[in-house]
Amino acid sequence: MAQRTTHDVMVVGHGLAGTCLAIELERRGAKVLVFDHPMPGSASTAAAGLVNPVSLRRIVPVWRALEMLQKARAFYRSFEADSGVRLWHDMPLFKVFSTAEAASFWLRRATDPDLFDLVEDRV
């Protein structure tokens, strides 16, 4: 007779969110089954894995930007230590301005104290 395997949790989707959830649940002792049906063109296959704490259109910090950036960095560093695979790469993100007005708007917004730790004012 076949042996039945049981799981505590089934995660549907093996994209970024599903993978992170499965990893965290396993760290907390759960037996996790991940189910995924890869689809061409889905976000999971197209995502570049960028973590950007600023909305580039309005140039405002996303909700709880610094806190979430710190948590994301800590999570990925911890997973890197467990897996031996380097995943987190701090690197600048460059915005190309289509007009002088857009560049001027960026320079004005970059003086906002809420953005000091998130952007540079170089244009």
- The predicted-structure confidence for 40-96, as pLDDT tens digits, reads as follows 877 777 666 778 888 877 888 889 988 999 999 999 999 999 999 998 998 887 888
The alpha helices in the chain, defined as continuous H runs, are 16-27, 43-46, 65-83, 100-109
| Calpha distance 83→105 (Å, rounded) | 43
Q: Which residue has the higher pLDDT, 11 or 121?
A: 11
Nearest to 20 by CA among 72, 63, 62, 83: 72
Q: Which conformational region is residue 60 in: left (phi greater than 0), alpha (psi within -120 to 50 degrees), or beta?
A: beta
User: What are all long-range contacts of 40-49, with beta carbons under 8 Å and residues at least 24 apart?
Assistant: 42/15, 43/15, 44/13, 44/14, 44/15, 44/16, 47/15, 47/16, 49/16, 49/87
- Rounded to two decimals, the pTM is 0.72
Under the banding of pLDDT at 50, 70 and 90, the label for residue 24 is very high
| Cβ neighbours around 4 below 10 Å, total | 5
Q: What is the pLDDT of residues 90-117, one digit of tens each?
A: 888 788 889 999 989 888 888 888 887 8
